[in-house]
Structure 1
Amino acid sequence: VTISAEQQKMAQERCEGLDVTILLQDYRDLNDQFDRIVSVGMFEHVGPKNYDTYFAVVDRNLKPEGIFLLHTIGSKK
């Protein structure tokens, strides 16, 4: 899931031949159930004021026995 058409195109090229779908949409508009959700390098751009919404979207879209992986860079600030 990305809001960047350029990023979507690059991901589609790199995933050619794989059973992968790259969606061009805002993550908050996602309404589907997934076995796995992986977030890489996005959380730090969401910002603290949007954390509740972010995790609500993950909760809404992750299957009950699903796995969520959050990769982020943080600081003690």
Structure 2
Amino acid sequence: MSNEFERKHRHFGSGRFRGHFSSLFDFEKALREIGIKTGNILLDAGCGEGRFSIPASETVGDSGKVYAGR
């Protein structure tokens, strides 16, 4: 049995629009609105490049944790 496969999947936001739409989204505001605060523990499943998990880690601070995985 072969483990070879062809990657055809592309994430939205790749290519020429990379970063464009995420620059329009206020991640810090979203974190506040869902109640994320210092000391929380989060899971960012499907984090991609970390555009949500990086601001989340700043929000939860040293007393919290953010687990992020693609």
Same fold (TM over 0.5): no
Instruction: Identify, as 1 or 2, the structure richer in helix.
Output: 1
Larger Rg: 2
Highest RCO, 1 vs 2 (Cα 8 Å, sep ≥ 6): 1
Q: TM-score, normalised by structure 2?
A: 0.35
Q: TM-score, normalised by structure 1?
A: 0.33
Instruction: Identify, as 1 or 2, the structure richer in strand.
Output: 1
